Structure 1
Amino acid sequence: MKKAMLAALAALFALTAPSAAEEAAMPADQPKWSIAIHGGAGTLDPDRMTPERRAAYEAALQEALDAGAKVLASGGSAMEAVKAAIIPMENSPLFNAGKGAVFTWEGRNELDASIMDGRDRSAGAVTGVTTIKNPILLADAVRTESEHVFLMGEGAEQFAATQGIETAPPEYFATEARREALERMKAEALSALDVDTKFGTVGAVALDMEGNLAAGTSTGGMTGKRWGRIGDAPVIGAGTYADNRSCAVSATGWGEYFIRVGVAQEICTRLRISSVEGKPDRGWSVHYPGVENWTTDDYAEFDAQMTADAVMAEVKQLGGDGGVILVTPEGHALFSFNTTGMYRGRADSSGMREVAIFGGDVEAGASNTPDH
């Protein structure tokens, strides 16, 4: 990570960190919750985004964010909030998950999803399903109703039938825009990256009032994928990971690189290892005046942001791009992406509610690191 980015983050935290008096006034035992969502990261050009299209995406993100936040605000679990947030995005043709998924080379919509509970690290995943309306629900059924973690294709759909999971015909998932992308790819001998201006994978991460974390991810993969290609979204540890000891992560991007880095678990593992009682001594006060006044919570947020940025830098160094969302046990909802944009949003029990799209829409505690 570049020193300039670290300095900017340090300055940000110096400005936004609560004073000692403010922190003392906050009820120590006040239950809190937090959620972050994404709808894909990629090459997004503000000049090509019409006001109408931007409004449509922002409304879709807000709907998903509100659905998850409602669950958490009413005392619901992180697992239920993750599913509640992902389902509206799977139902929206704007994203590459469920309805509106991209086409394979053969002209099919093949869907993947995964979900993980940070309490016990139970997980469920499915890949290559073609008739499941909401793959995130099937992934969760694998987690709770089978002895397995990962099911594929026909077998996964047979299992879905035993669980009463809602199905839909192939035409439900298909959209003309996605079909045109496949046709253009074939006609012009393009790569998936040439026809997909963004990775439309969707995901959510959450912390509930009981202090439990959860993560989920759902996708249609990459346009024109062949030979049963599987990306990171359904792979536990690459596209999805949750552990109450460290964080919950959902990823979106060029899956092959996220698998090679093991992005989701790598972030959580680094945070678990770096977790210590009190303020970690990393020599930060030498570089950032005022850092010595940060609270332990401030350090935790800064540490989480730097960790996510560092792992995304590794993805970039290998040649991949995309982004992640994460929530920490302290309730920090963060983003890190090395692309020009990422459809994203976050909310928490303090009243924060925000959605954003482009890299310039940098919120407090969110990092866009395209220069890595």
Structure 2
Amino acid sequence: MKLTPFYLLLFFILIGCKPNTEKQPIHKQKNEFAIVLHGGAGTILKENMTPEKEKAYKNKLEEAIKTGYAILKDGGKSIDAVEKTIQVLEESPLFNAGKGAVFTHNKTNELDASIMTGNDLNAGAVAGVTNVKSPIALARKVMTNSPHVLLSSNGASKFAKEQGLEIVDPSYFYTERRFKSLQKIKEKEKTELDHDDKSAFYDVDIKDSKFGTVGCVALDKYGNITAGTSTGGMTNKRWNRIGDSPIIGSGTYANNKTCGVSSTGWGEYFIRAQVAHDISAQMEYKNESLKDAAKDVIQHKLTDLGGTGGIIAIDKYGNMVFEFNTAGMYRASANDKGEIDIKIYKN
């Protein structure tokens, strides 16, 4: 039978409307709630770690993850779990945040932090704070009690006082170990560096270094994701340098549609690559899994730029990911079954 133009058109329309039989990914809720944290990434090798030091790190990571887990298990909000978990790490001299913050070139401590909630994309951050005991608590106050996202230096400290947060003498952040690290780097500067190279003073710190930034991401029983990050920045930093930790989209990002991310590493590269947001964007616009998106950003995009470090993340289904391109990362996780996992080294 000869087909008229009308039937030919109908035939092609029907072909074009043929149902897509390709297998579509099926997402299942893996955990009703979950929490992950990091205490920094870098050249963390077992041969350089004493049994006593390794135990100290693991004990503090366990204390921190159990703090957040207990809040989530009891039906608490992810924002509370993230803040309280990070505060445990801020109060420990083991990590480059709060009490354990590294020193600047001018022998001071300048602290940065940020927090973001995925249900409303609200965020708060602080940079260059010198006298606030808990920078992550201040970041939360900026988010909830101010019209701004990022406050810095003296203004951030003034706001902290108005909010009733604990103010400490800058000497609170002094630790002998961090001060000796600064002195060691300055000695290397005198003998090894060409000061015409604007990035040279970073290189001394980066080689065989540890990025001790701390961070936490949590998914609560209500489906809300919160991410937070806190740091002392980079040893020997100058000119009031600010890294990625207080930059939303670089060091911290949360979106209930996709995931929450906290970063640790060489901040300049994380800012340039917008690491935290890129992972979320790949999930939203390319339908990538959290695992694949994180791997692409850290192992390819960041690495190709020359950046080092890693991320922790949780997606809206409770999947947890740790992705880093360094020898190790202090990290811990807990799922809704109460299973806790604590690791330091890459393998």
* Class of the TM-score when normalised by the shorter of the 2 chains: 0.7 to 0.9
CA deviation profile, 1:137-162 (whole Å, cap 9, x unmatched): 00000000000000000000111111
| Partner SS for 1:82 | helix
Within 5 Å, give how 1:293-308 maps onto structure 2.
Answer: 303-308=289-294
CA deviation profile, 1:259-312 (whole Å, cap 9, x unmatched): 00000011011111233xxxxxxxxxxxxxxxxxxxxxxxx7xx2111101001
1: CA distance, partners of 2:155 / 2:312: 31
1: CA distance, partners of 2:178 / 2:91: 15
Kindly indicate whether residue 149 of structure 2 is the aligned counterpart of residue 149 of structure 1: yes
Question: What is the match of residue 202 of structure 1?
Answer: 214
Question: What is the match of residue 271 of structure 1?
Answer: 283
Kindly indicate whether residue 123 of structure 2 is the aligned counterpart of residue 123 of structure 1: yes
Amino acid at match of 2:314: V
2: CA distance, partners of 1:161 / 1:86: 21
2: CA distance, partners of 1:166 / 1:234: 20
Change (3 A) 1:177 1:74: same
2: CA distance, partners of 1:30 / 1:204: 19
Amino acid at match of 1:305: K
Identical amino acids, percent of aligned pairs: 49
CA deviation profile, 1:186-223 (whole Å, cap 9, x unmatched): 11216445446210000000100000000000000000
Amino acid at match of 2:56: A
Question: What is the match of residue 271 of structure 2?
Answer: 259
1: CA distance, partners of 2:248 / 2:118: 12
2: CA distance, partners of 1:85 / 1:31: 19
Question: What is the match of residue 219 of structure 1?
Answer: 231
Within 5 Å, give how 1:303-342 maps onto structure 2.
Answer: 303-312=289-298, 313-342=300-329
Question: What is the match of residue 58 of structure 1?
Answer: 58
Q: CA deviation at 1:351?
A: 2.7
TM-score, normalised relative to structure 1: 0.81
TM-score, normalised relative to structure 2: 0.86
Whether the aligned pair in 1 keeps the contact of 2:31 and 2:317 (CA below 8 Å) is: no
Whether the aligned pair in 2 keeps the contact of 1:40 and 1:252 (CA below 8 Å) is: yes
Change (3 A) 1:106 1:31: closer
Amino acid at match of 1:243: N
Aligned length: 309
1: CA distance, partners of 2:250 / 2:325: 17
| Partner SS for 1:36 | strand
1: CA distance, partners of 2:33 / 2:127: 30
Q: CA deviation at 1:31?
A: 7.8
Question: What is the match of residue 345 of structure 1?
Answer: 332
| Partner SS for 2:32 | coil
Q: CA deviation at 1:256?
A: 0.2
Amino acid at match of 1:224: N
Question: What is the match of residue 173 of structure 2?
Answer: 173
Amino acid at match of 1:264: A
2: CA distance, partners of 1:267 / 1:163: 34
Q: CA deviation at 1:30?
A: 10
| Partner SS for 2:318 | coil
Rg larger for = 2
